[in-house]
Amino acid sequence: MNRHMTTRALTQGAVIAALYVALTYIASLLGLSSGVIQIRLSEALCVLPIFLPAAIPGLYIGCLLANILTGCVALDILMGPIATLIGAVGTYLLRRHPRLALLPPILSNAIIVPIVLRFGYGMGDAMWYMVLTVGIGEVISVGILGSILYAAFSRRARSLLKPE
């Protein structure tokens, strides 16, 4: 990889991390970014590894910073970014199948976040309820908003590749 590509990937990752933090703050202001029912607008960015491998570390760092800056407990600071990283890697690995590529972030968060809510925040014993509510939030964030972002990127990519 040449120096230009390394700088480009680093810049892309940094911009994605910054967007993740900003979108998490917006969701936090709306009371949507944490808890049993959560819709992190930033999770829509989990579609980006389909287009940019640099999105993988960008999403991880963005989630890590967002969790630190929004005052999450230590378990959330550790496990939240891991859930996002697992989802981002899964999305990248399934990039040739865009509809399936949206599943890894939905599933990793629906499984890991309820564990964090239970043991990090002491939220009830209703694990299946939390799996369901976090999963629904991820379907909204990644499945719906991420699909819109995917469509926008796909159109842009096609227009950039179209011969003149």
Predicted confidence (pLDDT) per residue in 35-50, tens digit? 778 898 999 999 999 9
Is there a contact between 51 and 12 (Cβ–Cβ < 8 Å)? no
55-68 residue pLDDT tens:
999 999 999 999 99
Q: Say which residue, 127 or 33, is predicted with more confidence.
A: 127
pLDDT, one tens digit per residue, over 53-105 is 999 999 999 999 999 999 999 999 999 999 999 999 999 999 999 889 999 99
Does 52 have pLDDT greater than 50?
yes
Q: Binning pLDDT at 50, 70 and 90, where does residue 164 land?
A: very low
Select the more confidently predicted residue: 99 or 34: 99
> Residue 124 and residue 41: Cα distance in Å, rounded?
25
Q: Which residue has the tokens 């890894």?
A: 104
Quick one: pLDDT at residue 155?
79
Q: What pLDDT does residue 125 have?
A: 75
| Least confident residue range of 19-23, 36-40, 117-121 | 36-40
CATH of the domain at 25: 1.10.1760
Give the span between the Cα atoms of 79 and 90, in whole angstroms.
Answer: 16
Alpha-carbon gap, residue 34 to 24, rounded angstroms = 9
- Which carries the bigger pLDDT value, residue 9 or residue 34? 9
Cα 101 from chain centre: 12
47's tokens: 């579609």
Average pLDDT over residues 6-13: 92
- State the pLDDT at residue 90: 98
Expressed in angstroms, the distance from the first to the final Cα of the chain is: 29
Q: What is the pLDDT of residue 154?
A: 87
Tell me the helices (H) and strands (E) count for the chain, helix number first: 7, 0
Total number of domains constituting the chain: 1
Q: Which domain holds residue 15?
A: 3-161
